[in-house]
Structure 1
Amino acid sequence: MSRDHQASSQHDGTAGDVVVLSQGDHTLVILYGDVDVRVSEELEHAGRFSIDAARRTVMDVRHVTMMDSVGVSFVVRLAAGLRSAGTELELQGPSRRVAELITLVGAGELARWLPELPLEADVSAEQA
């Protein structure tokens, strides 16, 4: 796994953060914490990077604690941009509240939902 672009500094719990990685045949966008107006610039960079790569993009939202209209708009715009580029957006494991929000605004139809995977911390705990 190579890190192609990290959109903002560090993840500190609830403050939002966006990380973009290039992995084999797809782009991985990982969202952390509160996805709101404070990370809008980082979301914009992540979206451009993903669409320019013109590959399947997986958005991991398992670490999102809150998402407002800025985050939902990002999901919609990224999914539409990827469709225009001939590929798709896949969503990985959102919390129930985030999934309801994305579905409520109709964005759930724009992306494919992936089966739930355990968080890395869960895997480490199981191996101990």
Structure 2
Amino acid sequence: MVEGEMADAEHAISAGELSITASVTDGIHVLAAAGEIDHQTGDILAHALEVSGATRPRVVVDLGHVTFMDSSGINILITAHNTLTEAGGWLRLAQPRPAVRRVLYLVGIDAVIDCHETLTQALTA
């Protein structure tokens, strides 16, 4: 979250090796993920990315504390991107660590989903 801004709502979800803290900043859903995103934990990310009922849903996934992501995570992000785009919204990724950034760039996610070095950049882009 940008320093000095208050979240409208915040709650944490965790499963196994992945935890997600969800908040809303200036109408943007921010999901701060920590741990590993793989076939065992991917459902928790997919569930957190469901922004039902929101008009033009805008979501930033903060990957700053994600240590590992496999193809399950990539598929979840692509599905969420498509769903949010169809609803008139968007998905952005923020501050992926080097190992996760490498996976994102190897599969070309950065050409499909906006990836930003910092959370502030993702929120204000």
TM over 0.5: yes
Q: How does 1:59-74 map to 2 (within 5 A)?
A: 59-74=61-76
TM score, norm. by length of structure 1: 0.74
Deviation at 1:23, TM superposition (A): 2.2
**Structure 1 stretch displaced more, 100-109 or 77-86:** 100-109
Query: What's 1:45 paired with?
Result: 47
Q: Deviations over 1:87-108 (max 9, x none)?
A: 2111111012211211222221
- Indicate the SS of the match to 1:72: helix
After TM superposition, which residue ranges in structure 1, 4 or more long, deviate above 6 angstroms? none
Give percent identity, aligned residues only.
Answer: 26
Q: Which residue of 1 aligns with 2:13?
A: 7
Could you tell me whether the CA contact under 8 Å between 1:17 and 1:35 is conserved in 2?
A: no
Unmatched segments (≥5 aa) in structure 2: 1-6, 121-125
**TM-score, structure 2 normalization:** 0.76
Q: How many Å separate the matches in 2 of 1:113 and 1:105?
A: 13
Partner SS state of residue 8, structure 1: strand
Segment drifting more, 58-67 vs 83-92: 83-92
- SS of corresponding position for 2:20: strand
Mapping for residues 37-116 of structure 1, pairs under 5 Å: 37-49=39-51, 52-53=53-54, 54-116=56-118
User: RMSD across aligned C-alpha pairs, in angstroms?
Assistant: 2.2
Deviation per residue, 1:31-72 (Å, 9 max, x gap): 1111112222212211213x6433211110010000011111
Structure 1: state its 5+ residue gaps: 119-128
